[in-house]
Amino acid sequence: MDRRSKSILANVEWKVVIAFLFLVFVGWLNIYAAVYDGEHSSILDMSCRYGKQMIWIVAAFVIALFVLIIDPKFFSQTSYLIYVVCLIMLMIVLVMGSVTKGAKSWLGIGEFGIQPSEFAKMATALALAKVLSAINVDMSQWKTKLIAIGVVVLPMGLVLLQNDTGSALVFCSFVFVLFREGLSSLVLIFGAVAILLFVLALLINPYILVGAIAVIGLIAYFILHRRNSSAKFIYFLAGIAICSVIVLGVDFAYNEVLESHQRERIEVLLGKKQDFKGAGYNVNQSKIAIGSGGFLGKGFLQGTQTKFNFVPEQDTDFIFCTVGEEWGFLGSIILIFVYVWLCVKLIKMAERQRSNFARIYGYSIAGIIFFHFFVNMGMTIGLLPVIGIPLPFLSYGGSSLWAFTCMLFIFIRQDAARGELV
Amino acid sequence: MAIFIAIGVVYAIRLLYIQVIDDTYAELADRNALRYVTQYPSRGLIYDRNGKLLVYNEVVYDLMVIPRQVKDLDTDRFCSLVKITKEDFVKKMEKAKKYSMYAPSFFEKQISKEDFASLQEKIYMFQGFYAQKRTIRSYPDSIAATVLGYIGEVSEARIEKEPYYKRGDYIGMSGLERSYEKELRGVKGSKVTLVDVHNREKGSFQDGQYDVPAIAGKNLYSTIDIELQKYAEKLMRNKRGSIVAIEPSTGEVLCFVSAPSYDPNLLAGRERGNNYKKLADDIAKPLFNRALMAEYPPGSIFKVAQALVALDMGVISSGAGFPCDKGLVGCHNHPAAGSVRDGIKMSCNPYFYRVFQKEVQQVNPKTGKIDSKYGLGIWTAAMKRMGFGVPMDIDLPSVRKGHIPDTNFYNHWYPSGWNFHTIYSNSIGQGEVLVVPIQMANFAALVANRGWYITPHLVKGYGDDKHRKIYTKYLQKHYSLIASSWWNIAVEGMWAVVHEGGGTGHRADVPGLEVCGKTGTAENIGADHSVFISFAPKINPKIAVSVYVENARGGGGTWAAPIAGLIIEKYVKGKVERTDVEKMYMEAAPCQSLPLVRVSKPIKKGTVAAQTSESSSSQQSQSSSSQAAGTTSE
């Protein structure tokens, strides 16, 4: 036992742990600044959010330590169990969860509540890794693809039913893993084209867009046809038809399926609508907070936007405002650097794993963390629509912090054991 | 991995743009969180000529409420402390809540220091309520309302013209408050404070580094003698009219009364709106500043001016005698006047008919033609040099200019032609001549000074004690250009009015003082106005006074003269020894009651319907219209 734990410590990727500690510390500091209102009280004051977060952080350290001590095989062996437990929790939430900000995602236990959807991401990553790491798995088989997608879509659907669109979208990040594990790159290209078409469909009259696609498609066909006769006309026609269906489908979905507040958020983002009091209020105030930070920032506890509560949700989803305002451009790019470095490091670590399970799991969590970073920060600086998901390790909230800690340290533990025989 | 780095770079570029390159966000953040709170300077105080306080700032308290913070309120107790009913409480709370749950709003305005004392000790018990200090104008002696004026909230139109003012600011609306607004108001300062999203104050910005302190307003040192003013107001208590007293050597106004007056405190406190309405609706028009704005026919006091102009023109000599020919114009019974001095003393109407005829219908030595237009032209100019018919540059707003008719005026009215016989009513101060009381007081000072005056003014200086300033226009002498020897004749005539048998103004006599004066009985729509101008002593005069008692049912000698005498006695001697006389005139209420009923008199040939353009605002100027000249005058 003693010898083993020493080897674990020796093999732990300390740089990642330091990045984790850094992010958690920055998170607490900025939660303190966001809640701070000039009246000092103890940093452990449980009635304040920074006091609570301190408790969550200490608990997270305990969880991290616990995960490091456990045998790494435990997670791969119990991954289905964890997955199933999470699915059951998600279903329980649907029945008896409490509603916060329109989403029914909280499971109350006494005075505190937990958010099963936060843990579901980790459980899905484990389950997906388990499925894809099984012997004789071939991603080119439709059956495998369907099982893999099923593992992801099941919890995603349940989260969507909770009306928590943001968390549900996070499951899209598993596309990265599937891509790594042999999913055709066409899927990614198709996805990118679909997103482009989606945005264009909202900006331009759909019928004009369909016409433009047809013209571009035909011109492309004739150019290619002259050079290389192998391009078949029927494929181009099919492509044009599919694009047109997407465009018209988006138009329909946008007007008929999306709810009005979601439409408003998207319209504000695309600049079709100026609304600084309603749907655009958050983003506008958030941009003001970050933009007013300047190069060096206003200094710790000096942010007026932050201190005087101009930005709603500034200790949770909009925590980056506080960083941007009080620590400026310098602080912001340091934070971006740490996130990007962390995600890149996780990918690199994943690549050095001998076990497929660990590699796939590593890819999954790198994708999840990056997706959170990408969507959350994009939202606060006005590049993406408002989608309520937390910034990993920084945002206030026990469930989110614990889930991310657990998720990260499982991988660190797997990585530390990479030298052991599988 | 490449995607991760690419997105990281995109975000970094975006941040570089909004944080470093584009600085509109910084501005927007300031606009969110910084509030510029105006610091109001204290308004300057006003003192009387001897340094006694006329106007000061009194501290009152506004009770403020922040509805969201109101918790566990003992409503009964609160209501009894604030002295309001429960229904009022509910109404006021509703109003405050409607305005804002977070921002403070007025709950009860201007609670006096006395009322606040009991509340102050207990206010801590009522969460969400707090008191805010402010000042209102206060008047210890409740006098001189029309001189001091009042302040009120600035109008939108004024704000547009002068952006210094902001909505809700107070500004001088009338009197000295208005004409010395710039000196009194001081300079506003500002304080930069931080506010949160609910508009709650969160302390000062950068330790007050950008705060600008307010500069207090300058004090005014008025020319008013508080004792004389009080005395004059007492004398006019049951009457309508005005008293203006001037120190001839300086042009300083010693007392300035328009009766009926009102307590200036009425227009300063909480009840200002209601009180203003009451005063505005009063038929006796207490808000109408008679001493400045009432345009009366001068009546016989104008004869002194006529005599001076005629002597200076050289159309009569000092020994000129005219018979009292009642066929020309009515008169009372008196011996024929054999000199200018006697004409003034006995106030003979036919005498001044002849004097005015000589002035107007003079033989022009240059053209040899008898020319009314030529004569009237010289006459008009001479009258204007004595301060008649031109607006006086006094330091009070809304002064009227009276009226001295000129040739254009008559050409307009009588396109088919006119001559002396058309306009003779002016000879005895009726007809088209109109004066305001301040002009008559100034004329008395002009005679007292024997030929010059300093524009009457109500402020001796402003600023602090050591660096008092005064407008230079109140140091300049204005000369009438009438030769000094003629003034002595006028002074002698006015002396005789009070002191000699047959004089019309002996009731103005003050034992031991050489009072000079002239009576007037101004005909108008109702009963005659009783008018008197005077100065004293004859040598080295200390005070010049004009007194108007409206519709007094008596001549100038009956009411105005004794009142002028009492004013002179009070000022020159310091106290009035003739207590019985004082009592009698203080208690007297001679004025015909309002509304006035038009006295029907036959309209004689040669009467002009006086101009009506200026008459709408005052009943007094209406009085000038239509009345025939040529009836009795003392």
**What ipTM score was computed for the predicted complex, to two decimals?**
0.82
A102 contacts chain B (CB < 8 A): no
What would the two tokens of residue A61 be? Answer: 């350290």
pLDDT at B611: 34
pLDDT at B44: 92
- Residue B297: asked if its preceding bond is cis (omega within 30°), the reply is no
Last residue of a domain, which of B87, B116, B143? B143
Calculate how close chain B gets to A254, using CA atoms only, in Å: 26
Asked whether residue B159 is assigned to any structural domain, the reply reads: yes
- d(C-alpha B242, C-alpha A267), whole Å: 74
Q: Is residue A370 predicted with pLDDT exceeding 90?
A: yes
DSSP-assigned letter for residue B21: I
What is the mean predicted confidence (pLDDT) over B470-474?
A: 89
Residue of A nearest to B20 (CA): A294
Residue B410 and residue B398 in one domain: yes
pLDDT at A38: 60
Closest CA to A393 of A19, A108, A117: A19
CB-CB under 8 Å, A307 with B8: no
Using the structure block, give the residue that is written with the tokens 């002035």. B359
Question: Against a cut of 0.90, is the pTM above it?
Answer: no
Last residue of a domain, which of B85, B117, B143? B143
Tell me the sheet residues that pair with B453.
Answer: B478
Q: Which residues of A touch B14 (CB under 8 A)?
A: 381, 383
By Cβ distance, the residue of A288, A309, A332 closest to B25 is A288
Cβ atoms within 10 Å, residue B601: 11
Of the listed ranges A277-281, B503-507, B558-562, the one predicted with least confidence: A277-281
Calculate how close chain A gets to B193, using CA atoms only, in Å: 11
- d(C-alpha B303, C-alpha B383), whole Å: 12
By Cβ distance, the residue of B5, B15, B32 closest to A381 is B15
Asked whether residue B633 is assigned to any structural domain, the reply reads: no
By Cβ distance, the residue of A304, A329, A337 closest to B16 is A329
- d(C-alpha B51, C-alpha B45), whole Å: 11
**Model pLDDT for residues B348-372, shown as the tens digit of each residue:** 999 999 999 888 887 655 554 457 8
Residue B426 and residue B513 in one domain: yes
3-state helix, strand, coil in chain A (%, to 5): 70, 5, 25
- Burial profile A252-285: b = 16 or more Cβ within 10 angstroms, e = fewer: eebeeeeeeebbbbbbbbeeeeeeeeebbbbbbb
Residue B302 and residue B434 in one domain: yes
Residue B171 and residue B243 in one domain: no
Dmax over Cα atoms in chain A, in whole Å?
76
Residue B360 and residue B501 in one domain: yes
What would the two tokens of residue B170 be? Answer: 């107070």
**In sequence order, which residues have a C-beta less than 8 Å from that of residue B384 and are 6 or more positions away?**
B390, B404
- d(C-alpha A71, C-alpha A8), whole Å: 10
By Cβ distance, the residue of A289, A328, A333 closest to B29 is A289
Phi, psi dihedrals of residue B22, rounded to the nearest 5°: -90, 115
Residue B137 and residue B152 in one domain: no
A292 contacts chain B (CB < 8 A): yes
**Mutation site for B-interface testing, chosen from A304, A305, A330, A372 by largest number of B Cβ within 10 Å:** A304
Q: How many domains, chain B?
A: 3
Residue B244 and residue B571 in contact, taking contact as beta carbons nearer than 8 Å: no
Tell me the sheet residues that pair with B591.
Answer: none
User: SS3 for B284?
Assistant: coil
Asked whether residue B24 is assigned to any structural domain, the reply reads: no
Using the structure block, give the residue that is written with the tokens 């500091």. A29
Q: β-pairing, B477-479 with B129-138?
A: unpaired
3-state helix, strand, coil in chain B (%, to 5): 40, 20, 45
By Cβ distance, the residue of A292, A337, A347 closest to B25 is A292
- d(C-alpha B417, C-alpha B429), whole Å: 22
CB-CB under 8 Å, B15 with A336: yes
Q: Which residues of A touch B207 (CB under 8 A)?
A: none
What would the two tokens of residue B264 be? Answer: 């200036």
**In sequence order, which residues have a C-beta less than 8 Å from that of residue B321 and are 6 or more positions away?**
B336, B337, B338, B339, B342
Q: Is residue B617 predicted with pLDDT exceeding 60?
A: no
A289 contacts chain B (CB < 8 A): yes
Residue B405 and residue B417 in one domain: yes
A250 contacts chain B (CB < 8 A): no
Torsion of the alpha carbons at B162, B164, B167 and B171, rounded to the nearest 10: -80
Using the structure block, give the residue that is written with the tokens 């006098």. B143
Q: pLDDT band at B119, cuts 50/70/90?
A: confident
- Cα B485 from chain centre: 35
pLDDT at A231: 62
Q: Which residues of B touch A368 (CB under 8 A)?
A: none
CATH label of the domain that carries residue B349: 3.40.710.10
- pLDDT top residue among B145 and B617: B145
pLDDT at B338: 87
**Model pLDDT for residues A193-251, shown as the tens digit of each residue:** 777 777 777 777 778 888 888 888 888 778 777 776 666 777 778 878 888 887 788 77
Residue B74 and residue B162 in one domain: no
Q: Which residues of B touch A339 (CB under 8 A)?
A: 8
CB-CB under 8 Å, A305 with B33: yes
Calculate how close chain B gets to A322, using CA atoms only, in Å: 13
**Mutation site for A-interface testing, chosen from B3, B5, B9, B19 by largest number of A Cβ within 10 Å:** B19
Between chain A and chain B, how many beta carbons pairs sit less than 8 Å apart?
Answer: 104
Residue B324 and residue B350 in contact, taking contact as beta carbons nearer than 8 Å: yes
**Domain of B522, in residue numbers:** 226-262+290-622
Question: In sequence order, what DSSP letters do the residues of B310-342 get, joined into one string?
Answer: HHHHTSS-TT--B---TTTS---S-PPB-SHHH
pLDDT at A102: 66
Phi, psi dihedrals of residue A2, rounded to the nearest 5°: -65, -45
Residue of B nearest to A306 (CA): B196
Using alpha carbons only, what angle is made at residue B562 by residues B558 and B563, rounded to the nearest 5 degrees? 110
Using alpha carbons only, what angle is made at residue A157 by residues A154 and A163, rounded to the nearest 5 degrees? 150
What would the two tokens of residue B596 be? Answer: 């006035």
Asked whether residue B103 is assigned to any structural domain, the reply reads: yes
pLDDT at B128: 81
Interface residues from chain B to A (CB-CB < 8 Å) = 1, 4-5, 7-8, 10-12, 14-16, 18-20, 22-26, 28-30, 32-34, 194-198, 202-203
What is the mean predicted confidence (pLDDT) over B598-609?
A: 45
Q: Which residues of B touch A370 (CB under 8 A)?
A: 4, 7
CB-CB under 8 Å, B196 with A329: no
DSSP-assigned letter for residue B17: I
User: SS3 for A360?
Assistant: helix
Residue of A nearest to B11 (CA): A378
What would the two tokens of residue B630 be? Answer: 């040529």
**Model pLDDT for residues B150-165, shown as the tens digit of each residue:** 988 888 898 889 888 8
Helices of type H across A319-381: 319-351, 356-380
**In sequence order, which residues have a C-beta less than 8 Å from that of residue B195 and are 6 or more positions away?**
A308, B33, B34, B35, B201, B202
Residue of B nearest to A297 (CA): B19
Q: Which residues of B touch A37 (CB under 8 A)?
A: 202
pLDDT at B610: 37
A370 contacts chain B (CB < 8 A): yes
Q: Which residues of A touch B201 (CB under 8 A)?
A: none
pLDDT at B612: 34
Calculate how close chain B gets to A158, using CA atoms only, in Å: 28
- d(C-alpha A10, C-alpha A194), whole Å: 46
Q: Which residues of A touch B204 (CB under 8 A)?
A: none
Using the structure block, give the residue that is written with the tokens 């042999």. A182
By Cβ distance, the residue of A295, A305, A377 closest to B20 is A295
Residue B240 and residue B254 in one domain: yes
**Mutation site for A-interface testing, chosen from B5, B20, B25 by largest number of A Cβ within 10 Å:** B25
Q: How large a percentage of chain B has pLDDT more than 90?
A: 40
Q: Is residue B621 predicted with pLDDT exceeding 50?
A: no
Residue B435 and residue B537 in one domain: yes
Residue B128 and residue B70 in contact, taking contact as beta carbons nearer than 8 Å: yes
CB-CB under 8 Å, A344 with B5: yes
Cβ atoms within 10 Å, residue A366: 27
pLDDT at A146: 84
The CA R_g of chain B, rounded to the nearest whole Å, is: 32
CB-CB under 8 Å, A309 with B19: no
Closest CA to A392 of A90, A126, A173, A208: A173
- pLDDT top residue among A190 and B530: B530
Q: Which residues of B touch A292 (CB under 8 A)?
A: 25-26, 28-30
- Residue B595: asked if its preceding bond is cis (omega within 30°), the reply is yes
Using the structure block, give the residue that is written with the tokens 């109408």. B288
- d(C-alpha A49, C-alpha A33), whole Å: 11
Of the listed ranges A13-27, A177-191, B342-356, B463-477, the one predicted with least confidence: A177-191
What would the two tokens of residue B190 be? Answer: 């500002």
CATH label of the domain that carries residue B77: 3.90.1310.10
pLDDT at B370: 53
Residue B577 and residue B609 in one domain: yes
**In sequence order, which residues have a C-beta less than 8 Å from that of residue B592 and are 6 or more positions away?**
B526, B527, B551, B552, B553
Residue of B nearest to A338 (CA): B8
Average pLDDT of chain A, as a whole number: 83
Q: Which residues of A touch B34 (CB under 8 A)?
A: 304
Residue A182 and residue A142 in contact, taking contact as beta carbons nearer than 8 Å: no
Residue B178 and residue B230 in one domain: no
Average pLDDT of chain B, as a whole number: 85
By Cβ distance, the residue of A293, A308, A336 closest to B19 is A293
Question: In sequence order, what DSSP letters do the residues of A76-107 get, joined into one string?
Answer: HHHHHHHHHHHHHHHHHHHHHPEEETTEEEEE
**Model pLDDT for residues A49-83, shown as the tens digit of each residue:** 888 889 999 999 999 999 998 888 898 899 999 99
Q: How many residues does chain B have?
A: 634
Residue of B nearest to A325 (CA): B19
- d(C-alpha B205, C-alpha A281), whole Å: 25
- d(C-alpha A191, C-alpha B611), whole Å: 92
CB-CB under 8 Å, B196 with A309: yes
Q: Which residues of A touch B5 (CB under 8 A)?
A: 340, 344
Asked whether residue B50 is assigned to any structural domain, the reply reads: no
Asked whether residue B464 is assigned to any structural domain, the reply reads: yes
- Burial profile B287-303: b = 16 or more Cβ within 10 angstroms, e = fewer: bbbbbbbbbbbbbbbbb
- d(C-alpha B177, C-alpha B14), whole Å: 58
Q: β-pairing, B46-47 with B220-222?
A: parallel
Residue A419 and residue A11 in contact, taking contact as beta carbons nearer than 8 Å: yes
Asked whether residue B63 is assigned to any structural domain, the reply reads: yes
By Cβ distance, the residue of B22, B29, B198 closest to A305 is B29
A290 contacts chain B (CB < 8 A): yes
**Model pLDDT for residues A318-366, shown as the tens digit of each residue:** 999 999 999 999 999 999 999 999 999 999 999 998 888 999 999 999 9
Q: Is residue B426 predicted with pLDDT exceeding 60?
A: yes
Tell me the sheet residues that pair with A109.
Answer: A112
Asked whether residue B281 is assigned to any structural domain, the reply reads: no
Task: Give first-to-last CA distance, chain A, whole Å.
Answer: 19
**In sequence order, which residues have a C-beta less than 8 Å from that of residue A210 and are 6 or more positions away?**
A243, A244, A247, A248
- d(C-alpha A264, C-alpha A279), whole Å: 6
Closest CA to B627 of B614, B611, B609: B609
